[in-house]
Structure 1
């Protein structure tokens, strides 16, 4: 993939964004997934720097004060946020960044990084989404109902996004996400310097 990319991928819980992004990263090693900072403690099996960057609350406060977080939110008493310094480091090493975040985070990243391209993954129906959530077999009924309520609120913000992908068939949805990434880096605004360089060379 030739060209730099900030790609936001958002969806309701259970719509498939994690699986889709994993496939995208496997196809395009030039892309890296943004790893969020969090003030919560690691869960069993989580690795610092891979799953999250685990930081003290005081350090998180410093990052906010320094303006280093392009997005952050408090969820269930813990804070999560994306560091701009790590995004810049990825850019300096010529790697694109994929943000897998919620609607609130997507709005903040779009404000901080205007050229970011945002994708919202839709379930084909509410029934399909509920079936997928129940199919996990890991969540209580009240959690499932809360996720379904949240999903309706999240889908209502679809207008914030540049692309909508309907995850009815996973393979097709993955292909569409790859297509968005490829088309974005080929935009004239991102490759005009290549054309100008060619003209100057001869």
Structure 2
């Protein structure tokens, strides 16, 4: 059986990684999305086990110590990480697995899985990123400012990745992702 592909979407908070991922999965249902662990509290509408696997700080630290994570990072006071076993098992079964993770974690994936394809999602402008974070209504003003401060550093990392996609027009960004990831042929026919 052919080994699967590991795909990573990364970029600052608020660039629309989750929205792009949702649309990619609707168009390409064979994509398998890895569900991350986090120590943050669930947001309204998030489903434990589907949106994230919500764990305590102690459980997360145990997973780090056991080597059970492919990557992990601390972001805005909470831990986020990718469970190793389900991803490795899916890749061995020939599946395409996609991760939506932070830049620190994406760098770890690059080191551990050099064959992974990493795409950096960029905002069309700084003001747009700031507006998106505020309009989400999910974070306090302090948390938004922390996210924006971190975003300045993360945007500098864009050239490190295999491709950069500006998320200004949703349909155009999805089409660019499909091409970069090899999800469609030159004639725009689905491959997966």
> If the length of structure 1 is used for normalisation, what is the TM-score?
0.78
Q: Whole-Å Cα distance in 1 between the matches of residues 45 and 131 of structure 2?
A: 27
Q: Whole-Å Cα distance in 1 between the matches of residues 184 and 84 of structure 2?
A: 21
State the shift of 1:47 in Å: 3.0
2:39/2:56 contact within 8 Å kept: yes
Q: Does 1:70 align with 2:70?
A: yes
Residues 118 and 185 (structure 1 numbering): CA distance in 2 closer, same or farther, change over 3 Å? farther
State the shift of 1:56 in Å: 4.9
What is the aligned-residue RMSD (CA, Å)?
A: 2.8
Query: Equivalent residues in 2 for 1:83-122 (5 A)?
Result: 83-122=83-122
The match for 2:132 is: 132
State the SS of the aligned residue for 2:182: helix
State the shift of 1:164 in Å: 0.5
The CA deviation string for residues 5-46 of structure 1, in whole angstroms up to 9 with x for no partner, is 211101222211111111111111111111112345555654
Q: Whole-Å Cα distance in 2 between the matches of residues 30 and 101 of structure 1?
A: 20
Query: Equivalent residues in 2 for 1:178-197 (5 A)?
Result: 178-182=178-182
Q: Whole-Å Cα distance in 2 between the matches of residues 161 and 184 of structure 1?
A: 20
Residues 185 and 63 (structure 1 numbering): CA distance in 2 closer, same or farther, change over 3 Å? farther
State the shift of 1:111 in Å: 1.1
State the SS of the aligned residue for 2:13: coil
The CA deviation string for residues 112-139 of structure 1, in whole angstroms up to 9 with x for no partner, is 1111111011111112222323333454
Structure 1: segments with no counterpart, 5+ residues? 187-202
State how many pairs are aligned: 185
> If the length of structure 2 is used for normalisation, what is the TM-score?
0.82
Which of structures 1 and 2 has the bigger CA Rg?
1
Q: Does 1:37 align with 2:29?
A: no
Residues 156 and 179 (structure 1 numbering): CA distance in 2 closer, same or farther, change over 3 Å? same
1:5/1:184 contact within 8 Å kept: no
The CA deviation string for residues 125-170 of structure 1, in whole angstroms up to 9 with x for no partner, is 1122223233334544444333322221110111221101111211
